[in-house]
Structure 1
Amino acid sequence: MAHIPDKIKTIDGSKETLRLAVRITDLWFVGVADKLEQAEMVMVDSNGDEIHAICKQDQLNTWKIDLKENCTYAMHNFRVIKNDGQYKVCDHTYKLAFTRVTIVRQCELDGFPLKRYKFVEFSNVIDGQFEPGLLVDIIGVVDEVVFHHVSSRSRRVVFKLRDLSDQLLSCIIWDNYCLQFLEYLDEHESESPIIVLLTNARIKEGQGSYPPSVGNSLKASKLAINELVVQIQEFNQRLSKLGIEVRSVLTHRGQGSSQLSGSTQLSSKETYISKSEAKTISEINNICEDDDMDLNASPKALDKLLGNVLAFKIKVQPKYKNSAVLKCSSYLSLINNVLDMLPDAEACSKINVTMLDSNNPAQHESQSISITADHDPLIGLPLTPTK
């Protein structure tokens, strides 16, 4: 008589001689291929219940060629461990680990569901109504590309997604996901709307003035952009029916940076000054008083800034008695915007500001703006010591 398979829902750690009939709905590899590599997967049974499974390097050498996404299997013998890591792919209390005695046999099985997406409502993320550490799926239309940076050491892009409830959510993706996104923008400049589906995304809780956001996980995420998949096509149809306005022009690297290794400027004044207060240098110094600070110990690189007027976005850390510069801009409109936020900006005197053309470093343009003497970056501060 055929043995009745165990059900994923009943796995409670009491036995390890499990007999499962499953479909692998998600599969990814972590580490360096053929060296320090392990496979991770999500398996689903005929009831639609899911569990996370790990096949480490020693066992992966045996089973790697047999493990395939969307295929069905009969599997026996696992080590059952607690699903208590920092990030969880499934909400099951336990997860499975392959052992030396695990048996995997691919076979044709009917009645096993395909991947079930766990789309999260943007409003729930913003309101903090989510389980911390549980990975989710997101889908939305790109509303604005805020920033990107690509170098030999780091790659990231920040953009805003809009869902079908017209709610905006920040999305930050890194490394190869970032390159995939930027390359798509370059190849489809005039395409609209651009719909993004990101699986196994991490939710980053809001901190202080920074709202919650979502981003890719290290290897578990998959990024689909305007692909011919049912979920994207249905989203696009509902988007049209609801009449949600979609921006036709995106700020991508073709507009903000001519080279892949560059960074875009912020896409708007509102993005630059959002969640920020305007303060004078003396006010910041009062927040972060430090009697041991030597203002004469300035790096040589700061000499190049003497005589320039810039707008800085600064994170003040009174606990550590220091401040960190998050953004810097030489745009006259942004500088005026920051000045307008200062309470005493009306009593002002005229100074000349030398603006550096970002496309031609050798070319300078003289501009005149209004600024109070209290805000002059050269008044009251010691100059860099004479060399």
Structure 2
Amino acid sequence: MAMVRASKNIVSYVRELKPRKYTSRIEVRIVRLWRNYNKESGNTIEMVFVDKEGTRIHASVGEQLIKKFDDKLREGDAIVVQLFKVYDAIGEYRTTPHPYKIGFFQTTFVGKADDFPSAVPEKYFADFSDILGENLDHSCLVDVVGQIVNFGSLENKIIKGKDNMRLLIELRDPNNVKMMCTLWGCYAKQVYDYSRSNMSTMIICVIRFCSVNEWKGAYSISGGYNSTHILLNPTLDFIEEFKASLPNDSLALTNNDSSQWSVGTATSIRARFFVLNERLTIREIIDSTLVGTFVTLGTIETIDTERGWQYLSCKYHNNKNDVISRFKLIAHVKDDSGEANFLLFDANAQQIVRHSAAELYDENEDEDFLPEAVSDLFGKRVLFLDFS
């Protein structure tokens, strides 16, 4: 097949790539690189490229070309790639939603890309609500960022006759939506060791290329594929902004035995309320000197209206042009032993109000006005999961 080199100055964006356009020239960064083996294609080098627009595409180097390109491809490097094939990307657990992928020829050119930006737009972070609400294409891996609020024990599981470490963690997002995540192998140990060593700090976890899993109609995420990449408290541009958008409740990191957890089902909620955590009265929680998670049963007497029952928040990453009302209920709760105020942010409040704050908020009402759906909580007995 005759091929003609593209003009040196003409650079295509990843979104412009089409099959049979062999003369394209792209400038990309290798955001992920790993070795793979399967019976059909043998040993390969697998990569994910990202261009200046933040668009990703998968790329592969076949077994017969590994020696030629091995020393030219390093994860994190910015490179120029020219004279390659573009073909359909098919199958499950694809690293990107791009309809095509890149394959290398013997004549493919790889060189250093000058002036490639150190940061590119982030396009692949998935909202927790979209994952849990089945709003995503589950054939593609996604990126997730969340605060680790709970992690289990490091367990040894036999998978296909081989020992493998497993760790369950619970992440939350700025809307206080919590989601379970299963980590395997070296990723499980990485997160477990870091979490154990940083119990007193807020841990922000970025998981790139994780899968969305469904079990009995409920959804969670999993990391452990060769492509998965986990960053803990990284110095990325958006991390401080993300931390500032989290609920200001000083939620402590907890470490619970995960043998009773059932990822992605209502059992995980039942376990937290009835199996994993100690049941205490309000007075026992107030008097306790222990740091941990406790369950208490109390009656909601009132909701504080002086400090408001809701607040306006950016939907994600401080986009000030897109705000939404979210719950911030300060509930005065009593039991036979005493009384205390419990702060309920959006996701937790929705579980007992049965409405979103956006549905109830009316900007024309007085600030101390309490919607009927909220005032209906008065006198109700509620189980609270308290992080003390």
Helix, strand or coil for the counterpart of 1:133? coil
Aligned partner letter, 1:179: K
Q: Distance in 1 between matches of 2:253 and 2:17?
A: 50
Give per-residue Cα distances to partners, 1:5-61, cap 9 Å, x unaligned.
33322322133x2231312241221337xxx64222222334443321111232221
> Secondary structure at 2:72's aligned position in 1?
coil
CA contact (8 A) 1:147 1:159 kept: no
Q: Which residue of 2 aligns with 1:260?
A: none
Checking the alignment, whether the CA contact within 8 Å between 2:14 and 2:57 is kept in structure 1 is: yes
**Residue number in structure 2 paired with 1:100:** 106
Match of 2:77 in 1: 71
Q: Aligned equivalents of 1:7 and 1:141: distance in 2? A: 33
Cα deviation 1:202-256 (Å, max 9, x = unaligned)? 1112424xx20001141111111223333433322322xx3145134322xxxx5
Q: Could you list the per-position Cα deviations for residues 322-341 of structure 1 after superposition, in whole angstroms to 9, with x for gaps in the alignment?
A: xxxxxxx9x9x9xxxxxxxx
Equivalent runs, 1:24-173 vs 2, <5 Å:
24-31=29-36, 37-110=43-116, 114=120, 116=122, 118-146=124-152, 148-150=154-156, 153-173=163-183
Q: Secondary structure at the match of 2:105?
A: coil
1: CA distance between counterparts of 2:9 and 2:219?
48
Task: Report the secondary structure of 1:138's partner residue.
Answer: strand
* Partner residue of 1:233 out of 229, 240, 251: 240
Matched residues in 1 for 2:253 and 2:50: separation? 40
Q: Answer with 75-84 or 166-175: which moved more.
A: 75-84
Structure 1 residues without counterparts, runs of 5 or longer: 257-263, 277-312, 314-328, 334-387
State the identity as a percent: 20
Contact 2:156 2:164 in 1 (8 A): yes
Seen in structure 2, the aligned counterparts of structure 1 residues 245 and 47 have a Cα distance that, compared at 3 Å, is closer
- TM-score normalized by the length of structure 1: 0.59
3-state SS, counterpart of residue 153 of structure 1? strand
Judge conservation of contact 2:124–2:143 (CA < 8 Å) in 1.
yes
Distance, in Å, in 1 between the alignment partners of 2:243 and 2:119 is: 24
- Contact persistence 1:22–1:43 (CA under 8 A): no
Partner of 1:318: none
Kindly indicate whether residue 216 of structure 2 is the aligned counterpart of residue 207 of structure 1.
yes
Could you tell me how far apart the structure 2 residues matched to 1:117 and 1:167 are?
A: 21
- In structure 2, what is the equivalent of residue 5 of structure 1? 11
1:182 and 1:112, CA in 2 relative to 1: closer, same or farther beyond 3 A? closer
Gaps of 5+ in 2: 1-6, 280-388
- Compute the displacement of 1:111 (Å): 5.9
* 8 A contact 1:142–1:194 mirrored in 2: yes
**Residue 192 of structure 1 aligns with which residue?**
201
Inter-partner Cα distance in structure 2 for 1:193 and 1:120:
21
**Larger Rg over CA atoms:** 1
* Higher strand content, 1 or 2: 2
Letter of the aligned partner of 1:205 in structure 2? Answer: E
Q: Does the 8 Å CA contact 2:183/2:222 hold for their aligned counterparts?
A: yes
Q: Is the 8 A contact 2:33 2:48 kept in 1?
A: no
CA drift at 1:183: 1.3
Q: Distance in 2 between matches of 1:113 and 1:142?
A: 25
How far did 1:272 drift?
Answer: 9.2
Deviation at 1:63, TM superposition (A): 1.3
After superposition, the Cα gap between the structure-2 partners of 1:37 and 1:193, relative to the gap in structure 1 and judged at 3 Å, is same
Contact persistence 1:145–1:250 (CA under 8 A): yes
Aligned to 2:255: 250
Letter in 1 for 2:208: T
The alignment's C-alpha RMSD in Å is 3.3
The counterpart of 1:23, out of the listed 28, 42, 52, is: 28
8 Å Cα contact 1:25/1:115 also seen in 2:
no
CA distance in 2, matches of 1:9, 1:78: 15
**Residues 1:178 and 2:188 aligned together:** yes
8 Å contact from structure 1 (residues 45, 112) kept in 2: no
- Aligned pair count? 261
Query: Match of 2:23, as an amino acid?
Result: L
Matches of 2:267 and 2:111 in 1, distance apart?
A: 58
Question: 1:172 aligns to what SS in structure 2?
Answer: strand
Q: Is the 8 A contact 2:212 2:221 kept in 1?
A: yes
